[in-house]
A and B are shown apart, each in its own frame.
Chain A
């Protein structure tokens, strides 16, 4: 016995799959438990011949599959039915059929990925580049066209001469002794290695910094950037003042923009009059815009009942005598120019919409302060409706 070498196993190789099945049957029949078979491809019937127990891998698949299914279902349920309920396509919040495809996908994904990962990492214990069978003549032949069986030295029944005689009786091509490779150590914290590591870090980070921040802005790479064109906000040598951008010609008006000449004036009422008749369409346009832009502060009925919970000063009611006495032009001017803390709405609401809002405010004011004449008028209309 060779004492300075540590025996891993005794290996035998055969020529045909039938021989290896027979060998596996004999070896497992003789009571060896720590043995393995290596073949170039899966040989049918090997599980039985080796008396292998059914793999436990299926349980990984089952558990991870169930995990995938429940994660998907619970997540979608919590997401769409509980935390942020959304109606999609008129379906109920918990629309099970719509959840099934994602549940199915996640079940399959988790089950398969974890099965493969568990098979490779837990069951095969890969990556392992120190396995004694590596780089042996045995492994070279069984990964090519031979069929091999190994009986490991850790087996309780293992006895070198007995095993060798036993394997010889099976008429193998050859028998090989495979030893553990000598343990090689690679101390990591050597000054030389650390220095190398630091050097590599320096070169990589420096190179990255240089190429991303400097190299990219050097001549051959900047060809596309250096173009003879005007770039907004950049200087240019084309014009005498050195600016790339030009001022518009005096009196230029932006597209769709009508300048308001009374900006900052107190009361331009006389010159402004409402160009729109209070028709149904115009009033409903005014209502729409009023509800969007004005109602947050002024309230839906212009009572000055802000919805902002005191985070912005409440405006006064528009039903006061003063407000009702404002001309249409004054209301338009306030919207356009702003008043006190109220900002200008010129940029948000178009000119025509502002006039429509004026019409709608008039409707609100009249509705809140209806006169007897209005009531008779209304009753008459109601009476007509009933009569009809």
Chain B
């Protein structure tokens, strides 16, 4: 077929995108610094939401790369570089996490020694929830993620020049090790950075809940990038509806998975109605939080579910692009809903503040900038991958 003689030629990203990202980032950073001096607690909580969003996209993208290797998928091979580009965010998490570690006192109730001294439950949890162990855990997980990122992406890039098929085998082995590491590390990350904000509460499904939202966010980011690039001709002429359909179907599946997990968590706590569990949901039912809780169901599940239900809608680039942006927003709302009600001043209801908006602006700018950075160093297609040709010819 016509793709047999396909010859890859690198096409640079427009300079306006870099400018756009830099403007967003600088506005965001300046406003964030102002926010930090205006209301430190609120700024830190807002920063935590954006940090978790970046963690979601970064580690979720690496997970999608590993998933492709371990499942032996070839439809996603031509677009594998997109999640690889996003996972370049992982090494930067070392820097991004520092404010959260320095100002842990403002975020975490369990970091207050005088509060722990009066609290039997917190004393029981102290062997796990203490600053030393917390910092160690954070850096161990970030280190593991960066290590796997570095090894897998290095192999993938080396393949572009050597065309060595053994590198694929190596990456399959690495993926097989990475996936359990990923499962355990994101569970503890979710517990450390979000569940421990309310240290008296516990939910064993919390890690899975974070995972389900994280995969949706990563897939949405990948799909958005793919469609934006496709619209500008970066993926022509080989990309067809079936590639989009596969992305759409994955998003659809994980939107359902999120709803399933979120409902499982809610149903058990609602049914048992134990005071030590149900107060977490009751906090999220206080005042205007109730509207955000209901909004979350609509935004994260009902709208994307019906928007992606039919087969043609999963192949429609416009619809997919809209839903990708929508789902990134939905995951942000989800994280916001998980994190913000733990602020003491927001326990009785959500009150709007401009501070909530500045971190996402900086975050979007940052993510685009990292994407451009890794794009410059790398080919858009893994041209040495033995599965590339099959992926381009992919048909359902």
Kindly state whether residue A90 has any CB partner on chain B within 8 Å. Answer: yes
Given A44-B395, A44-B396, A101-B267, do A54 and B273 touch, yes or no (CB 8 Å)?
Answer: no
Interface residues on A, range: 10 to 19
Pair B310/A97 contact, Cβ less than 8 Å: no
Given A89-B273, A98-B271, do A45 and B395 touch, yes or no (CB 8 Å)?
Answer: yes
Please list 21 pairs of residues, one from A and one from B, whose beta carbons are closer than 8 Å in the complex, sorted by A's number.
Answer: A44-B394, A44-B395, A44-B396, A45-B395, A45-B396, A48-B395, A54-B311, A54-B312, A58-B310, A58-B311, A89-B271, A89-B273, A90-B273, A91-B271, A97-B263, A97-B266, A97-B267, A97-B271, A98-B267, A98-B271, A100-B263
Contact bitstring B264-279, A, C-beta under 8 A = 1, else 0: 0011001101000000
**Whole-angstrom CA separation of A233 from B266 in the bound complex:** 59
Chain A residue with the shortest CB-CB distance to B266: A97
Pick the contact of B267: A48, A58, A89, A100 (CB < 8 A): A100
Question: Which of B271, B310, B394 is the most central at the interface, judged by chain A CB atoms within 10 Å of its CB?
Answer: B271
User: Does more than half of chain B's interface fall in helix, strand or loop, or is it mixed?
Assistant: helix
**Whole-angstrom CA separation of A100 from B396 in the bound complex:** 34
Contact residues of B between 237 and 279, Cβ < 8 Å to A: 263, 266-267, 270-271, 273
Can you list the 5 inter-chain pairs with the closest CB atoms, starting with the nearest? A45-B395, A44-B395, A97-B270, A97-B267, A44-B396
- Chain A residue numbers with a CB within 8 Å of B267 are 97-98, 100-101
- Chain B residue numbers with a CB within 8 Å of A47 are 396
Contact bitstring A65-107, B, C-beta under 8 A = 1, else 0: 0000000000000000000000001110000011011000000
Chain A residue with the shortest CB-CB distance to B396: A44
Chain B residue with the shortest CB-CB distance to A45: B395
Please give the residue numbers on chain B whose beta carbons come within 8 Å of chain A beta carbons, in ascending order: 263, 266-267, 270-271, 273, 310-312, 394-396
**Whole-angstrom CA separation of A98 from B268 in the bound complex:** 10
Please give the residue numbers on chain A whose beta carbons come within 8 Å of chain B beta carbons, in ascending order: 44-45, 47-48, 54, 58, 89-91, 97-98, 100-101
- Chain B residue numbers with a CB within 8 Å of A44 are 394-396
Minimum CB–CB distance from B312 to chain A (whole Å) comes to 7
Chain B residue with the shortest CB-CB distance to A46: B395
- Chain B residue numbers with a CB within 8 Å of A98 are 267, 271
**Whole-angstrom CA separation of A254 from B394 in the bound complex:** 85
- Chain B residue numbers with a CB within 8 Å of A100 are 263, 267
- Chain B residue numbers with a CB within 8 Å of A48 are 395
**Whole-angstrom CA separation of A91 from B273 in the bound complex:** 10
**Whole-angstrom CA separation of A90 from B270 in the bound complex:** 11
- Chain A residue numbers with a CB within 8 Å of B271 are 89, 91, 97-98
Minimum CB–CB distance from B198 to chain A (whole Å) comes to 22
Chain B residue with the shortest CB-CB distance to A101: B267
Minimum CB–CB distance from B75 to chain A (whole Å) comes to 10
Minimum CB–CB distance from B127 to chain A (whole Å) comes to 35
Known: A44-B396, A58-B311, A89-B273. 20 other contacts (CB 8 A): A44-B394, A44-B395, A45-B395, A45-B396, A47-B396, A48-B395, A54-B311, A58-B310, A89-B271, A91-B271, A97-B263, A97-B266, A97-B267, A97-B270, A97-B271, A98-B267, A98-B271, A100-B263, A100-B267, A101-B267
**Whole-angstrom CA separation of A176 from B164 in the bound complex:** 47
**Whole-angstrom CA separation of A52 from B267 in the bound complex:** 44
Chain A residue with the shortest CB-CB distance to B1: A18
- Chain A residue numbers with a CB within 8 Å of B311 are 54, 58
**Whole-angstrom CA separation of A100 from B310 in the bound complex:** 23
Minimum CB–CB distance from B271 to chain A (whole Å) comes to 7
Minimum CB–CB distance from A160 to chain B (whole Å) comes to 33
- Chain A residue numbers with a CB within 8 Å of B273 are 89-90
Minimum CB–CB distance from B390 to chain A (whole Å) comes to 10
**Whole-angstrom CA separation of A58 from B396 in the bound complex:** 17
- Chain A residue numbers with a CB within 8 Å of B312 are 54
- Chain A residue numbers with a CB within 8 Å of B394 are 44
- Chain B residue numbers with a CB within 8 Å of A54 are 311-312
